[in-house]
Amino acid sequence: MAAQGRHGGKKSNKMTALVVDDNTVNRMIHHRLLDNLGIENVAVVNGKEAVDIHCSGKTFDLILMDMDMPVMNGIEATRQLREMGIRSMIAGVSTRSMEREIREFIEAGLDDYQEKPLTMSKLISIIHKING
């Protein structure tokens, strides 16, 4: 049986990540950032697909969750993943900067929040929290 990582991901040499964002440009950039760090990653286009991929049995060390998405937004998706017992690092990534909006997102179950645009240094700071 595969050992569990600190945040519930399958422990292996290669870290894994899930990008959840409805915007194609953001998905491409986040995918490339993760690729450059040697992190295997998959991208989905809304919160429902993020929940569904976990229901299929897949788990990830890191989830980059956008807030505003159609079908199911990031707040609702985060809430559902936590209710399912997913303990992966979930980092919210959004253009929102108002405190009350961010607080609602964090209270849904985020481990971290970063304002867009996501940069390499922001991503590294998120990853340090996984390994720390």
Partner 1 sequence: MEQIEKHDYLQAHQKQPISQLVRSRKETEQEKMVKAETDEQHNEHQYEQNELEAEPGERGRKKPQTLACFSCQIPLKTCAEDSTIPVAKTGLPVWMLGLAADRLRADTNRLLAFLFHQGILDEQFLQLQQLEDETSPNFVSEVVNIYFHESEKLLRNLRSLLMDREFSDYNKMGIHLNQFMGSSSSIGAKRIRNVCVAFRAASEQNNRAGCLRALELLEHEYCFLKNKLHELFQIQQQRALAAGVRYPMQN
Task: Please report whether residue 124 would count as binding partner 1 according to CB under 8 A.
Answer: no
Closer to partner 1 by CB, 82 or 96: give it: 96
Among residues 71, 53, 64, 68, the alpha carbon closest in space to that of 30 is found at 64
Binds partner 1 (CB under 8 A): choice among 4, 24, 125, 131: 24
Closer to partner 1 by CB, 4 or 70: give it: 70
Burial grade of 38 (CB within 10 A; 0-12, 13-18, 19 or more): exposed
Encoded tokens for 91: 């980092």
- Residue 8, strand partner residues: none
Number of residues that bind partner 1 (CB under 8 A): 20
Task: Please report whether residue 68 would count as binding partner 1 according to CB under 8 A.
Answer: yes
- The HSE-up count of residue 123 (CA atoms within 13 Å, CB side) is 21
Q: Are 89 and 130 a contacting pair, CB within 8 Å?
A: yes
Task: Please report whether residue 36 would count as binding partner 1 according to CB under 8 A.
Answer: yes
Binds partner 1 (CB under 8 A): choice among 32, 40, 83, 84: 32
Range in contact with partner 1 (rule: CB under 8 A) among 38-46, 52-60, 64-72, 83-91: 64-72
DSSP letter at 113 equals E
User: Which residues are at the interface with partner 1 (CB under 8 A)?
Assistant: 22-26, 28-29, 32-33, 36, 66, 68, 70, 94-95, 116-120
